[in-house]
Amino acid sequence: MRQLNDNPIGSLLFENSKINVQHVLPKYKRIGTLRRFKHYAILTLSTLNNIWRNNQAVDMCAMLIVMDLDRQVTSIKNKGIEEAFTSLIRSGDILIYDVKNNNLYFMFIAARHHTVNISNRIVLFFTKNKIISKAGISIIPDDFTDVNSAIIGAREVKKQIKDEQGITFYNQKFQKLAHNILVTHYEITNGMRNREFACYYQPKVSPTGAIMGAEILIRWDKYSGSRWQTPPSPAQFIEIAEQTGLIIQLGEYILTEAIKQMAKWHQQGYLLYPIAVNVSAVQLSHPYYNFMEFIDSIFIQYPYIKEYIEIELTETAILDTTPKTVQMIKELRDKDVKLILDDYGTGNSTISHLFMPINAIKIDKSFIDRIMVSKETEGVVEGIIAIANSLKIQTVAEGVENMEQATKIIEMGGQSLQGYFFSKPITSAEYEKFLQKNTAKPDINRNRQTTKKVNIIDEDNEINKDDFFISGN
């Protein structure tokens, strides 16, 4: 492949980063500053090659992106462009601006296992910001072994884009991933517009079998897209929604629909129960979104709803120490919104997390699955419940699937249970039957040797008039 000469290719914009640039830029000329970018200097191709050579390792890679600025963007200092790029740049990234050709070169050096996530971030940036018209992307060492060749390769695939706007990878694997992200981004947006998503309710019950509330789960019931042959599961589209930022709109959509339904039940005179809504860490930490403003607008419109809203947060969100996330969690607590730590026992969960500002924890299904076959797991779960009870933190056993598990959790002092043993996630119409037939349930500890399971919802989707657990031979 032909080589580029080593003339200066543009001005460097980067945050004081993890990568080692001091040995290649010992005395750079500072020619200007931008509010969020700490340095602004001239770079050459040999400099970029030196940066890569001095930071490469077996498990490292570099991604090179050549981008054309939109025709309307005539300067890197245009209003809004700096804010747009601060959502892209991370510590360790390098952004180069070619004033002459109005091009941008973006290079990051990162561990290989982060490549997919970072390429997704690039695609997200491209879809959300109209300042870029076309972009070509290549990867070292997957596609090329040096920066010169990688830039040339990225330029060549960029030239192959026939539309006025587009993004393409030299590597076909990443091109397919990018295509999937863009298609899913479009289909989720279209799905919200056409009201294809629905709220499902999975009841939580007390040891006596009485309803304590429900978790709101999203389902893409009326899927009309083309990427999947059947309606995709949440696991298939939630991750992409988080990567693309659509989780913000999707989260608002689901919570709004759930609250409208609760308002309807309230008008019909039904006794309301708390609903737990999953909130992504993205919704709390996104630099251009204020989750509390949305919550406040809900409380103003439906003031009686506040006491029935519970927010489920992952460990990642609860332990996020960024100022914005910390402030969001503080404001939620100040407004007496109940916070639930989801999937407790997974990831880096420790006993110290029980001292966080939370009202309840959900013991992860992976623990519940093992409590009948592992004495160690049984001991861990019993310890978690005992400590939580002493701290007046409610426990929810997640994924209870049989009588034995339910019995064991209750004997340990568990306060509420959730899972297919009691009910699968059901539609709002099916959940309404719970509200219609809300009656006190007898203690399930009675006649435990002769109990047998009776589903809340029978095969005809009708509520059984019997208890959750009834005596039998």
**35-39, 88-92, 269-273 — which one is most confidently predicted on average?**
269-273
Span of 48-57, 217-226, 280-289 with lowest mean pLDDT: 48-57
H-assigned helices in 220-349: 234-244, 246-267, 281-285, 291-301, 315-318, 323-334
Higher pLDDT, 44 or 237: 237
Give the pLDDT score at 44. 60
Higher pLDDT, 115 or 29: 115
Q: Which sign does the torsion angle of CA 462, 463, 469, 473 carry?
A: negative
* 10 in Cβ contact with 98 (< 8 Å): yes
Percent of the chain with pLDDT over 70: 68
Span of 3-12, 152-161, 218-227, 406-415 with lowest mean pLDDT: 3-12
DSSP 32: -
Higher pLDDT, 109 or 416: 416
Of 187, 298, 164, 284, the residue nearest 240 (C-alpha): 187
Residue 242 clears pLDDT 70, i.e. is over it = yes
Of 107, 97, 101, the residue nearest 77 (C-alpha): 97
Give the pLDDT score at 198. 94
User: Encoding tokens for residue 51?
Assistant: 């940066």
List, as own/partner pairs, every contact residues 235-239 make where C-beta atoms lie below 8 angstroms and the sequence separation is at least 24, other chains included.
Answer: 237/184, 237/188
At 433, the pLDDT band (50, 70, 90 cuts) reads confident
Domain-wise residue ranges, the chain:
8-170, 196-471
- Right CATH number for 196-471 from 3.40.47.10, 3.20.20.450, 1.10.3720.10, 3.30.420.40? 3.20.20.450
Q: Bridge-partner residues for 361, per DSSP?
A: 341, 395
At 7, the pLDDT band (50, 70, 90 cuts) reads very low
Give the pLDDT score at 308. 92
Residues 456-467: what's their mean pLDDT?
40
Residue 442 clears pLDDT 70, i.e. is over it = no
At 448, the pLDDT band (50, 70, 90 cuts) reads very low
H-assigned helices in 75-114: 81-86
Distance of CA 388 to the CA centre of its chain: 27
CA distance 227 to 179: 10
Q: Mean pLDDT, the chain, as a whole number?
A: 75
At 378, the pLDDT band (50, 70, 90 cuts) reads very high
- With 0-12 / 13-18 / 19 or more C-beta atoms within 10 angstroms meaning exposed / middle / buried, residue 106 is buried
Residue 261 clears pLDDT 80, i.e. is over it = yes
- CATH code of 8-170, in short, is 3.30.70
Higher pLDDT, 434 or 296: 296
Name the percent of the chain in helix, strand, coil, to the closest 5. Answer: 40, 20, 40
Residue 35 clears pLDDT 60, i.e. is over it = no
Percent of the chain with pLDDT over 90: 30
* 368 in Cβ contact with 398 (< 8 Å): yes
Residue 18 clears pLDDT 60, i.e. is over it = no
- pLDDT tens-digit profile of 303-314? 888 889 999 988
**16-20, 157-161, 379-383 — which one is most confidently predicted on average?**
379-383
CA distance 157 to 105: 14
Higher pLDDT, 156 or 81: 156
393: alpha, beta or left? (left if phi > 0; alpha if psi -120 to 50): beta
Half-sphere exposure of 82 (CA within 13 A, CB side): 12
Higher pLDDT, 299 or 113: 299
Give the pLDDT score at 456. 41
Give the pLDDT score at 386. 93
Return the SS3 of 471.
Answer: strand
**What string of DSSP letters covers 165-213?**
SEEEESSHHHHHHHHHHHHHHHHHHHHHHTT--EEEEEEEE-TTS-EEE
Span of 15-24, 81-90, 363-372 with lowest mean pLDDT: 15-24
Give the pLDDT score at 262. 92
At 65, the pLDDT band (50, 70, 90 cuts) reads confident
Return the SS3 of 333.
Answer: helix
Q: Which residues contact 406 (CB under 8 A, 6 or more apart)?
A: 400, 417, 421, 444
Tell me whether strands 309-313 and 275-278 are parallel, antiparallel or unpaired: parallel
Residue 362 clears pLDDT 60, i.e. is over it = yes
What count of residues does the chain have? 473
- pLDDT tens-digit profile of 39-48? 444 456 666 7
